[in-house]
Amino acid sequence: MVWQIITSLILSLLSMETQVILNAKQFDFTLQRLCRQLIENHDDFSNTVLIGLQPRGISVLNRLKELIEEILDKEIQCGSLDITFHRDDFRRRETPLIPSVTNIDFSLENKKVVLIDDVLYTGRTIRAGLDAMLAYGRPNNVELLAFVDRRFKRHLPIQADYIGKTVDSLVSERVSVEWKEIEGEDKVILYTKENNG
Amino acid sequence: MDNLSVDHLIGIEHLTTRDIEIIFQTADRFKEVINRPIKKVPSLRDTTIANVFFENSTRTKLSFELAEKRLSADVVNFSASSSSVTKGETLVDTVNNILSMKVDMVVMRHPNPGAAKFLSERVNAKVINAGDGTHEHPTQALLDAYSIREKLGEVQGKKVVIVGDILHSRVALSNIYALQKLGAEVMVCGPTTLIPKYIHELGVKVEHNLRKALEWCDVANMLRIQLERQDIQYFPSLREYTMLYGLDKKLLDSLSKEIVVMHPGPINRGVEITSDVADSKQSIILNQVENGVAIRMAVIYLLAAKIER
C-alpha cells in the first residue's frame, strides 16, 4: 500500500516534464539576431531608447544593450519601467505585487521607443507598459521586442515587432527564460504538466 | 508579496515591523511617481474614498487628498463644521450614510481617542486613522520615520528625541511605537507637567533638560504646544516655555554634533522653534511634507488591495 503511494508520487513528479526550447548556444544566436535587427531599424540609436519592463525584461535589455554598444562602440539610452501601478488586475489577485524600480531619467517626447520584455503572452503587461510609459512624454513611435512569444491565448490585440522565439504552448504550460547571471545558465524552458485527471 | 497584517490603519501599535517595511518599500516607488512629469497612476480608479474630518486640518487633509487623487481614486470630502453632526447625528450614522453612497474607504480625523477603532468595528469599509484625539496619528509617525530613514540611511540604532507637549500629542505616541519597532532609541523631553506620568513604561527615556537631550540625540522632533487641548495651565507662560524648551540657532550651533531637526507642523515660529532653525539646512520639515504624500499613497494602496470586490 505504502509502496503504491510512493510509486504514484514518483510517477506524478516524472510527469511534470520540462523541455528545453533554447539552449545556451541557441540563446546567444537569438540575442545576436535581435540585436542586429534593432541596429538595422535604428541606425546609430541617436533618437532611440530601449525600455525594459520590470522585472524580467531588464535581463533582456541588459544583454541587448551590451551587445549593441559593443557593435556601435557608443552608449545607448536605456531605462527600466515598472508597471505594477498600471496593471488591470489590482484587487483581482490574492496579494498585491511588490513594485520594482522605475528608472527613466530622460523624456520620451518624440523618441523612438523599443519596449522589451522576456515573455509575451496575454499582452496585458504590455498594455500596462504602454499606459505607464505615457507618464514620461509622448514618444514618436513605440515598438515591442519579446524574447519569447507564446503566440496563442492573447487577450489583447498586441503583437511584437521583434521576436526571439515563437512558442506554441498550452494554457496549463509555463515558459521560463533563464539567465546565467540569475539562474546560472542561459536557456528557455517549457514546463509541461501532464493532466492525470 | 505579502500584504499588511491589518485591515485598517488605526494605530502603529498594531502594526508589525514587517508591515512598516512593506509600507516604506511601497512608498519608495510612489515617491518616484510623484516626481514624474505626470504624477498619477491608475491603480485605484474603481475605488471611492471619503475624507471625514471632525477636527481642523490643513496638511494632513491636503496630503491625503493629493495621495488619493494621484492614485486615481474618487474622493469625497466632509468636514464636521459644515455637516449634520452639528444637528445631533451620531458618528456611525454619519459614516453609514456616507457608505450607502458606495464608499470603499474612510479616512477619519476625530477629537475622541478610539474613534477610528470604534468606526472600524462598525462599518463595512477600510478605515484609516488621520488622528484620533490624543491617541494616535499613524501616517504622521510613518512619514517621520520614513524621513529619518531617507536622511540618515536607516532608523535602526538612531537616537530620536521628541520635544514638547507629549501629554496631548498623538504624534508623540505614534512616533514612539514606530521608532521603537524600527529599532531606534527614543527619548521624550519637556516640562514635567507635559510628560505623561507612566511614559517610561513604553521604554522611552525621559529628560527635562533640552540641551542634554539634544546632545544625546541624532534627530530632534519638535512638537507644537497644543493649547487647544489644554484645559488647565500646564506652564507659567509661553515665553517661559520658549526660554526652556524652544530650539534656536544659537543652541543648535553650540551642540557638539550636527543633528536633524523635524517638526510635524503646524509650526509656531518663535515658540518651539525659531525661524532660522526651521529654515536651516539641518531641518527636514519640508521633506516630511513631501514624504507624507508618498507614505499615504502607500498606505491607501496596500489597504485598497484588501477591499473585497
Q: Please give the pLDDT value at position A3.
A: 65
Burial class (CB in 10 A: 0-12, 13-18, 19+), A94: exposed
Does the global pTM surpass 0.90? no
**Cα A124 to chain center, whole Å?**
12
For B36, left (φ over 0), alpha (ψ -120 to 50), or beta?
A: beta
Q: What is the pLDDT of residue A195?
A: 45
- Candidate from A156-160, B13-17, B42-46, B299-303 with smallest mean pLDDT: B42-46
What's the pLDDT score for residue A95? 66
CA-closest candidate to residue B6, choices B304, B308, B303: B303
3-state DSSP assignment of residue A36: helix
Cβ atoms < 10 Å from Cβ of A95: 10
Predicted pLDDT of residue B98: 81
Residue B67 has pLDDT above 70, yes or no: yes
The minimum CA-CA distance between A56 and chain B, rounded to whole Å, is 16
Give B288's pLDDT tier (boundaries 50, 70, 90). Answer: very high
C-alpha neighbours within 13 Å on the C-beta side of residue B180:
19
Query: Of B36, B58, B86, B87, which residue is the catalytic one?
Result: B87
CATH of the domain at A133: 3.40.50.2020
Backbone φ and ψ for A95, nearest 5 degrees, come out as -130, 150
Domain containing residue A123: 28-167
Show binding-site residues of B for carbamoyl phosphate: 59-60, 109, 137, 140, 265-266
**For B195-222, what is the mean pLDDT?**
94
* pLDDT of amino acid A5: 64
A136 close contact with B: CB closer than 8 A: yes
Lowest mean pLDDT among A29-43, A83-97, B122-136, B271-285: A83-97
Q: For residue B126, which phi and psi values (nearest 5 degrees)?
A: -75, 135
From B26, B47, B48, B60, active-site residue: B60
- Total domains, chain A: 1
Residue B295 per-residue DSSP state: H
User: A135 and B304 in contact by Cβ < 8 A?
Assistant: no
Rounded CA separation B41/A27 (Å): 36
Assigned CATH topology for domain B12-137+289-304: Rossmann fold (3.40.50)
* Side-chain-facing half-sphere of B76: CA atoms under 13 Å: 16
Please report the pLDDT score of residue B209 as a whole number.
95
Helix (H, G, I), strand (E, B) or coil at B269: strand
Task: Assess whether pLDDT exceeds 80 at residue B176.
Answer: yes
- Coil, helix or strand at residue B262: strand
For all residues of chain B together, what is the average pLDDT? 91
Quote the pLDDT of residue B187: 96
What is the separation of C-alpha B123 from the centre of its chain, rounded to a whole number of angstroms?
Answer: 24
Residues ≥6 apart with Cβ < 8 Å to A191: A16, A17, A18, A173, A174, A175, A176
Cross-chain residue pair B37–A134, CB shorter than 8 Å: no
B239 in active site? no
What CATH number labels B138-288? 3.40.50.1370
Looking at chain A, which residue has its C-alpha nearest residue B38? A135
d(C-alpha B304, C-alpha B106), whole Å? 11
**Residue B72 touches chain A, beta carbons under 8 Å:** no
Partner residue facing B25 (CB), from A86, A98, A107: A98
What are the domain boundaries of chain B?
Answer: 12-137+289-304, 138-288
In-domain check, residue A85: yes
- pLDDT tens for the 197 residues of chain A, in order: 566 666 665 655 555 678 899 999 999 999 999 999 999 999 888 999 999 998 899 999 999 999 999 999 999 999 999 998 888 888 776 666 778 888 888 889 999 999 999 999 999 999 999 999 988 889 999 999 999 999 888 999 999 999 999 999 888 888 999 999 898 889 999 988 754 43
Q: Report d(CA A28, CA A30) in Å as an integer.
A: 5
Query: How much is the pLDDT for A197?
Result: 35
Do the Cβ atoms of B307 and A91 come closer than 8 Å? Answer: yes
Q: Touching check for A107 and chain B: CB below 8 Å?
A: yes
Residue A96 near residue B301, CB atoms below 8 Å: yes
| Closest C-alpha among B73, B70, B61, B205 to residue B139 | B61
* Beta strand B205-207 pairing with B185-189: parallel
Q: Is residue A33 part of a domain?
A: yes
Q: What is the residue type of B78?
A: F
User: What is the pLDDT, as a whole number, of residue B83?
Assistant: 64
Angstroms from A156 CA to nearest CA on chain B: 19
CA geometry: angle at A152 spanning A148 and A157, to 5°? Answer: 90
For the record, the C-alpha cell of B233 comes out as 495651565
Q: Average pLDDT, stretch B68-93? A: 82
Element (H, E) at A76: none
φ, ψ for residue A169 (rounded to 5)?
-145, 160
Q: Is the CB of residue B133 less than 8 Å from the CB of residue B277?
A: no
Cell reading at B195: 510628560
Task: Return the pLDDT at A96.
Answer: 65
Q: Write down the residue that cell numbers 524600480 correspond to.
A: A101
Domain for residue A194, yes or no? no
Q: What is the pLDDT of residue B86?
A: 67
Give B 52-71 residues with CB within 8 A of chain A: 71
pLDDT at B15: 95
A134 lies in some domain: yes
pLDDT at residue A65 in the model = 94
